[in-house]
Structures are given as structure tokens and as C-alpha cells.
Amino acid sequence: MFISTFITKVIGDKTQWRQYKARAKQLPPNYRTALEALERYLMYFGTGGDGTAIYADLLDLFEQSVENRTPIRKIVGEDPVEFIETFVRNYPKGQWILRERERLTTALAHAEAEEAKSV
């Protein structure tokens, strides 16, 4: 059961990934360079295991921008790092940081409860 879900997930992701790559190839070279740079950054920064959704959405943005003739700088703004880090925050599914946030919140609540007891 687990194995088959796992396989479906990986293969499904792989197909989506291939489709993404094929579409990305259609972009004009400069847009493609920009998208690949963002993609590379995401590989290091991590997308929290959200699969290909974030890449597909980024590609939508670039395809639209090609259609509307939006220059690269007008897509990502003056600070591309800030752009991509804000962007990735829209895809929090499965992010390890969610667990840690919960842990921090609970820990603080415990600390507060102990404080109330000692007063």
C-alpha cells in the first residue's frame, strides 16, 4: 500500500516534471535563463516537498510575461532573492518549518502556563 502510493507519487511527479521541463524549453532564451536561475535557487532553498506546483506556477508567470512582453526585471523586481523567498511561502505544504512553528508555539504556551502556576 505504502509502496504503491509512493510509486504513484514519484512517477506522477516525474511526469509533471517532464511536462514542466518541456514547456520551459519553449520560453525565449533570456526568460528561460531567468527561470532556470530561480529553479536552481529553489533546489537549494527547498520548496517543502510541494512537488511541482510551485514550478508550474512560476512557469505560468513567465509564459504570461512573454505574452505581455514584460521585461525580466519587471517580473522579478529589484531583489530576486526577496521575490523567490516570498513566492515560496505560498507553498507551505509539508514544510518542516510548520512542525517547528507548532513546537515553538506549544513550548511558549507551556512556559506561560508554568509562569501562571508559580505566581
Partner 1 sequence: MSKQMTEMLKGTLEGIVLAILSVQPEYGYEITARLREMGFSDIAEGTVYALLVRVEQRGLVAVEKVPSEKGPPRKVYSLNAQGQAYLEEFWQTWRFLTERLARLQKGGR
Binding site for partner 1 (CB under 8 A): 57, 60-61, 63-68, 70, 73-78, 83, 86-87, 90
Task: List the grid coordinates of 90.
Answer: 505560498
Round to whole Å and give the CA distance between 38 and 16: 18
Rank residues 18 and 74 by Cβ distance to partner 1 and give the closer one. 74
Q: How far is the CB of 103 from partner 1 (least distance, A)?
A: 24
Q: How far is the CB of 94 from partner 1 (least distance, A)?
A: 15
Taking every pair of C-alpha atoms in the chain, what is the biggest distance, in angstroms?
Answer: 67
Rank residues 41 and 83 by Cβ distance to partner 1 and give the closer one. 83
Alpha helix (H) residue ranges in the chain: 2-25, 29-45, 53-67, 72-76, 80-88, 96-118
Label residue 48 exposed, middle or buried (CB < 10 Å: 0-12, 13-18, 19+).
middle
Rank residues 53 and 107 by Cβ distance to partner 1 and give the closer one. 53
Rank residues 44 and 83 by Cβ distance to partner 1 and give the closer one. 83
Q: How far is the CB of 24 from partner 1 (least distance, A)?
A: 13
Q: How far is the CB of 18 from partner 1 (least distance, A)?
A: 17
